[in-house]
Amino acid sequence: MSAPSAGHLERCLLLHRRDFSNTSLLVEVFSAAHGRFPAVAKGARRGRAPTAALLQPFQPLWLAWSGRGEVRTLGKVEAAGAPLTLRGDALYCGFYLNELLMRLLARQDPHEDLFAFYVAALEDLANGQGLDRVLRRFELRLLQVLGYGLVLDREADTGRPVSPAGRYCYVPERGIVAAIDGTPDETLSGATLLRLAAEEPPEGGQIREARRLLRAALAPHLGPRPLASREFFRRVRGA
């Protein structure tokens, strides 16, 4: 990954930040053109430096950086718009999206479409869109971009169209198959699958089914370590 040419700024958002040394910040940058990468903001915490206030998750940024190693050095930092204000449950959802990208997106692997999906999801959360609708849509697109997309409108083994009245199971590395055994709590309705395939928001009991499906689809790629954002949300909500 090459650094932007002198004076050139790239549109970015931060996925994470933490203190680094006495005066600096170590940030994880997500760039439309360069993907995800770590960078040091030297002196960002010194005195009343305005950089620290800008280098926050959900703040659209214009960034320039330098260096050839894995960890780059940030140069110019400018706001690329007003912060995306996430409150309450929407804030936890925003951190969940950030953690998904941190865990699943390889460094220095550009995905301009994914960056656009991410920005759109944050804007939807900030504008009060239904949380489950925003999360499921982003999860499906993330899996698609990474090469693990789900075929939700046809059975994996037979190719038969999914029936709205049918019951189905999701089998990792295979896909959607017709349910033979199992209780309704362990299966998925065809109506749920078809609404997800059409990017329509799940309704009623479909919400829990869709959540369970996407959790199962993401699990093999996330590994055994729990998502910190999910655990924190569960503690806060008492779920």
What is the per-residue pLDDT for 52?
86
What is the per-residue pLDDT for 2?
62
Say how many Å lie between the first and final Cα of the chain, rounded.
42
What is the per-residue pLDDT for 164?
96
Domain coordinates in residue numbering, the chain: 10-79, 89-237
What is the per-residue pLDDT for 54?
93
Instruction: List per-residue pLDDT tens for the chain, 239 residues long.
Output: 566 655 689 999 999 999 998 899 999 999 999 999 999 999 888 877 678 889 999 999 999 999 888 899 999 999 999 999 999 999 999 999 999 999 999 998 999 999 999 999 999 999 999 999 999 999 999 999 999 999 999 999 999 999 999 999 999 989 999 998 655 567 999 999 999 999 998 899 999 999 999 999 999 999 999 998 887 777 666 54
Residue by residue, DSSP assigns 99-156 as HHHHHHSPBT---HHHHHHHHHHHHHHHTT--HHHHHHHHHHHHHHHTT-----SB-T
Euclidean distance between CA atoms 85 and 66, whole angstroms? 30
Euclidean distance between CA atoms 197 and 128, whole angstroms? 23
What is the per-residue pLDDT for 239?
45
What is the per-residue pLDDT for 185?
61
Enter the pTM of the model: 0.90
Topology classification of domain 10-79: OB fold (Dihydrolipoamide Acetyltransferase, E2P) (2.40.50)
Three-state secondary structure call for residue 157: coil
What is the per-residue pLDDT for 236?
65
Q: What beta strand segments (E) does the chain contain?
A: 10-20, 24-31, 35-41, 61-66, 72-79, 167-171, 175-178, 188-189
Helix H or strand E segment including 208 = helix 206-222
Topology classification of domain 89-237: de novo design (two linked rop proteins) (1.20.1440)
What is the per-residue pLDDT for 7?
61
